[in-house]
Amino acid sequence: MAHLVGAGASSHSPLLLANPSLWRERAHQDRSNTQLYDSSGRLRTYDELEAEAGDRFAAELSDDVWAARFEACQQGIRRVGQTLRDLELDAVIVVGDDQAELFDESNQPALALYWGETWETAELPFHGSDFFDAVKAGYAMDAVHRFQGAGDLARSILASLCDAGFDATSVASQPPGKGFGHAFGYVGERLLGTRELPIVPLLLNTYFPPNQPTPRRCVQLGDALRNAIEAAPGDARVAIVASGGLSHFVVDEALDERVLDGVRTGKTEDLAEIPTALLRAGSSEIRNWITVVAAMQNGASWHDYAPCYRSPAGTGCGMGFAVWT
């Protein structure tokens, strides 16, 4: 039987990958973002949010605060990555979402698991921007990069998930011209820093209605994933990683604290009750965290949080980091 020996979770925001001197470029892009949801789950315009906020976030937008937040996040990335490397793993299962990178509206599975022996990222099509040049490199999407998969382990987990009542999509190869996206390249590039450790992509459709898994279904998936790993043949040492989150593109510290309370305690009932209206746009990636919390069944060994505001409207990302050992 394989062994689930630990887990990690990390935000993967572009703000983690670009020097804070470049954050204003990302803040400027928020002015035209059509996916800004407030803390009630209501779709808002940037101008509406800015008018309501007044000077509430002014103290969060200085160069000194940004530099401190950035360094705290880098420490979080390093701690998650080092903890995973210290576990002497044979494979990592990454619970992440796809944002029209591998799938599109012609085929959008709620849950998919990749069991090829290798997988590749695709190059992001953005050019001529210092901000996006840094982001592309951090996502391993500055070019096509190849990573190792774990076919036998992945097929065993896929079969177990189906036996447990999850109609998971089986993915053996990538569609022509398509590559795995930032949720997976980030883990390989920034957390693990290797192309040799096998990574199994488990893709949740967090982003696109109507077939997003509910928070309660994510709890059930975490339970089934733990059982599937431990039922897999062999003695592989396996960890799981939640990629993405927390709240964005509008920071919601109350929502993030609700998630982190589950991370601290390992209790999933309140996580299962999070309204789906709050899990829109980037905040939808909280589903990945819920899955990992449920799989681990206990509180995290360590976690940290940094609310990274980047505009007077309160846009930005709640950055979370956690490890289970």
Domain spans of the chain?
3-324
Please state whether the predicted TM-score (pTM) of the whole model is above 0.95.
Answer: yes
Residue 226: what pLDDT?
98
Residue 127: what pLDDT?
77
CB of 293 closer than 8 Å to CB of 227: no
Contacts of 111 (CB under 8 A, 6+ apart): 161, 166, 167, 168, 169, 202, 203, 204, 205, 213, 221
CB of 94 closer than 8 Å to CB of 197: no
Residue 284: what pLDDT?
98
Residue 129: what pLDDT?
83
In angstroms, the CA 245 to CA 218 distance is 15
Phi, psi of 194 (to 5 degrees): -150, 155
Residue whose C-alpha is closest to residue 188's, from 232, 144, 151? 144
CB atoms within 10 A of CB 219: 23
Residue whose C-alpha is closest to residue 245's, from 29, 96, 61? 96
CB atoms within 10 A of CB 70: 20
DSSP 100-131: SSS-BTTB--SEEEE--SEEEB------S-HH
Along the 325 residues of the chain, how does pLDDT read in single tens digits?
899 999 999 999 999 999 999 999 999 999 999 999 999 999 999 999 999 999 999 999 999 999 999 999 999 999 999 999 999 999 999 999 999 999 999 999 999 999 999 999 999 988 778 888 899 999 999 999 999 999 999 999 999 999 999 999 999 999 999 999 999 999 999 999 999 999 999 999 999 999 999 999 999 999 999 999 999 999 999 999 999 999 999 999 999 999 999 999 999 999 999 999 999 999 999 999 999 999 999 999 999 999 999 999 999 999 999 999 9
Tokens of 251: 């920071």
Residue 125: what pLDDT?
86
Residue whose C-alpha is closest to residue 265's, from 307, 285, 284, 293? 293
In angstroms, the CA 161 to CA 288 distance is 16
Instruction: Count Cβ neighbours within 10 Å for each residue of 154-183 and write b for 16 or more, e otherwise.
Output: bbbbbebbeebebebbebeebeeeebbbbb
∠179-323-286 over CA atoms, to 5°?
A: 55
In angstroms, the CA 39 to CA 41 distance is 5
Neighbour-count burial of 114, counting CB atoms closer than 10 A to its CB (0-12 exposed, 13-18 middle, 19+ buried): buried
In angstroms, the CA 127 to CA 108 distance is 28
Give, rounded to a whole angstrom, the gap between the first and last alpha carbons of the chain. 19
Residue 132: what pLDDT?
87
Specify the CATH class of 3-324 in words: alpha beta
Strands 36-37 and 146-148: unpaired
